[in-house]
Structure 1
């Protein structure tokens, strides 16, 4: 009969600022007894042409996923090229692919034997829903307004036999979103990225991790509780090894456990398979890497990685500002004040049909640089509060809100980016442009552009200059910190997933932008890392954040590997004014609709 298994800690780890004691309890593994092994065969693949039908748009309330929909008017595109290389654009970040396929006799036979087939998309971006004959068979991520972040990994989806028409046409429809680029298939070359194959055993094994705290952030004195569940959808038993690796977010190993398991067909080891139920962590973020692999083999059935946070407001990332830090920024503000802005507004009629007149604003900024932005001037009379929005790194320009919600809006394009991209004269990677001297570093001028945007909105007679809020995500989150730090005209700040923070730790956690700096150092042998970190300390928002005096709300994605939560809190923890944070448990480089709704209420409360 099944019996409880107790696996005591194999070691006690002592690390700087981390005392970790763990017991792994695996109790009453129902359904995990010895069963016959499956016959292991090489999957049979059927390849198809590169041609797909494509249409740009979200297709709300459409029938575009239905197999009987007539897509003859859609344009034909190739999955061997990026959409942008085919001069194809998305609409509001959305697009659809459709393709009609048939199964050959060998694949039909394999389908009957395995109970289904597997659809392979190779590398794809960034979030999608996949339909087969009108049935949703799988998805990656979520669409706006609940976008969970960018994902460009390889995709495979199991299609059950009952969804397949074996001797007829089958229609694949893919709805996808990518707010950063053209999205869709990321293959580029001669290797066909799309295929159907016979299902293999790993295709029908599901591995999930459940976290006891809904936002994945644990606060003292409560324990950290994480459990693992494995579902075997095969008719036969699977025999393998469950591996749980625990690391810091900087990839320092803490401990690894391995547990042999045999899971009967059509059963789940779930409620009674609980891992790491009693944990003691120092403040920080921690990564669980969980995999279930075939015994005595390199074949991985499934693997998952996720992060959790523990007492993030107690993370210690001390200020490392140089002695002349304040003098440096005071001098920059004085230099900016000498530059006459020469504001020029050009009406955009196509965006001005509702409750705002939308203008492109041109103005001179630090170093006499010409910068631009979109201004939404309310048609409603009176003085209005305004939200100044700062954009993400490399984001394409977009107009402001056009339906009245109580606020005026200004969306700034900092130098060289967005509306200013056609006139960019900086190095291709802005973050390493001028890295040899802080006086010529890209973000010196860019941070002053942030302040010039506040000069503009304060000059407008229809704007209540004592009711200015700032917001932005990623680079825009960092620039929101900058605005609130350098200018007391900001009365409320709402940064999310902020960039440009705690560089020494940042470069240990995330692959980018460290990769851009590595390339710079390789191209400039005279560059020294200590000198680079010294320069970056002048442009580190954790060093600026100590000057913030207005209320602040910060959103972050716990799974973010672009601007990881550790660096978000490095800046947040230096803020001494009223503040609070909102966590997106499963979000990557995004925060979602709940945070947006809370931010809008925050602005309404603080900018009355």
Structure 2
């Protein structure tokens, strides 16, 4: 796959105007206020994994609408807190799987919470365990067009709220330093990470890896790959709904969330990525922290990679980078 997007030097200065609604902040303030009016109902049950150096817990907490959201929490064994924490979000279609699959952050000394993504977990990996009780109108198979006619009904309004509540849950734990919570994720998980970065102040760090859910209009104009192709497919059938669809998505754009972020950030981008095109990633990166002052940020560039990005190379970079932060 050759380079197909903007030239690398153009990407570095790419600052598109996006269609951000005037009531963006009010919409999310009301959404999170409603979610936080419900008790977290946080439950942790230790599970036996046969691993001697970490302890793992089956976690349940109340997300959007009070719906039960599952997660795995893994922490170093026999280490007293308070510890720093990393909350991680998953890629499109995957579930939390098994706790033995997610050990890097705990072995680096962090409390690690991996949030299951509601309604997903059957496309790859070892499965998910969280349903999505909310329905939607007609949609293309996948998740991106569920509730596409109204931001209040959209699937990602629920997921982003779940993610904020996951951070709330981790910050409430006695053995976690609430001022030292970072968020991370790849692809869809990177897009969720960006949403949290703009909705939760005072994070220690933000690590979106080849993030999805950014600059939707640009994405649909330059790639036919799924999942952005779900929007194209929907609009090819619902021909008169273009502006309505993009209005809904304007409440869910990683670029808008990135502008509101205030924590240090380490992004990654792959320049041959047709799933999450480089210009959509740079639109979020170049706007990151625009409303704050002197936000530390960096981006790791993988020039010859597609959507796999840096994989373990990027995780190694993240572990080292996070350890350098004050």
TM-score using structure 1 length = 0.48
Could you tell me how far apart the structure 1 residues matched to 2:72 and 2:202 are? 20
Instruction: Look up the SS of the partner of 1:583 in the other structure.
Output: strand
**Distance (whole Å) between structure 2 residues aligned to residue 499 and residue 533 of structure 1:** 16
Distance in 2 of aligned mates of 1:382 and 1:365: 26
Q: Which residue number in structure 2 is paired with residue 457 of structure 1?
A: 170
How far off its partner does 1:424 sit? 4.1
Q: Secondary structure at the match of 1:573?
A: helix
The residue number in structure 2 matching 1:485 is 198
In the alignment, which residue of structure 1 is the partner of 2:15? 316
Counterparts in 2 of 1:543 and 1:347: CA distance versus 1, 3 Å: same
- Higher relative strand content: 1
Q: What SS class does the counterpart of residue 92 from structure 2 fall into?
A: coil
- Match of 1:322, SS state, is coil
1:520 aligns with 2:234: yes
| Cα distance in 1 for residues equivalent to 2:258 and 2:235 | 28
Q: After superposition, where does 1:500-539 map in structure 2 within 5 Å? A: 500-511=213-224, 512-522=226-236, 524=238, 527-539=240-252
Q: 1:567 to 1:574 in 2, by over 3 A?
A: same
Query: What CA distance in whole angstroms lies between the structure 1 residues aligned with 2:18 and 2:296?
Result: 20
Give the CA RMSD over aligned residues.
Answer: 2.1
Q: Which stretch has the larger CA shift, 585-594 or 494-503?
A: 585-594
Deviation at 1:422, TM superposition (A): 6.2
Provide closer, same or farther for how the CA distance between residues 367 and 420 of structure 1 changes in structure 2, counting only shifts above 3 A. farther
Other-structure match for 1:423:
131
Answer with 1 or 2: which has the greater Rg: 1
1:485/1:547 contact within 8 Å kept: yes
Contact 1:472–1:496 (CA<8 Å) still a contact in 2?
Answer: yes
Q: Secondary structure at the match of 2:314?
A: helix
Cα distance per residue 1:270-329 (max 9 Å; x no partner)? xxxxxxxxxxxxxx33xxxxxxxxxxxxxxxxxxxxxxx224221131232111111111
C-alpha contact 2:142 2:227 (8 A) present in aligned 1: no
How many angstroms apart in 2 are the aligned matches of 1:337 and 1:397? 24
Counterpart in 1 of 2:299? 581
| Distance in 2 of aligned mates of 1:561 and 1:518 | 15
Residue 417 (structure 1) shift: 2.1
Between the aligned partners of 1:408 and 1:581, the Cα distance in structure 2 is 25
- In structure 2, the partner of 1:372 is 70
Please name the residue that 2:318 is paired with. 599
Summarize the alignment of residues 460-479 of structure 1 with structure 2, pairs less than 5 Å apart: 460-479=173-192
**SS at structure 2 position matched to 1:505:** helix
How far residue 348 of structure 1 moved from its aligned partner, in angstroms, is 2.0
Return the alpha-carbon distance in structure 1 between the equivalents of residues 261 and 15 of structure 2: 19
CA contact (8 A) 1:507 1:513 kept: no
**Quick check: 2:75–2:110 contact (8 Å CA) kept in 1?**
no
Structure 2 length-normalised TM: 0.87
SS in 1 for 2:74: strand
Distance of 1:481 and 1:514 partners within structure 2:
17
Instruction: Report the equivalent of 1:405.
Output: 108
Q: Distance in 1 between matches of 2:177 and 2:187?
A: 27
CA distance in 1, matches of 2:181, 2:244: 37
Structure 1's unaligned 5+ residue stretches are 1-150, 152-208, 210-215, 217-247, 250-283, 286-308
State the alpha-carbon separation in 2 of the partners of residues 353 and 580 from structure 1: 35
Gaps of 5+ in 2: 122-126, 290-294
- 1:375-386 pair list within 5 angstroms: 375-379=73-77, 380-386=79-85
Deviation sequence 1:337-367 (CA, Å, 0-9, x none) = 11111112222202x5222211111111111
> Separation in 2 of the partners of 1:446 and 1:424?
9
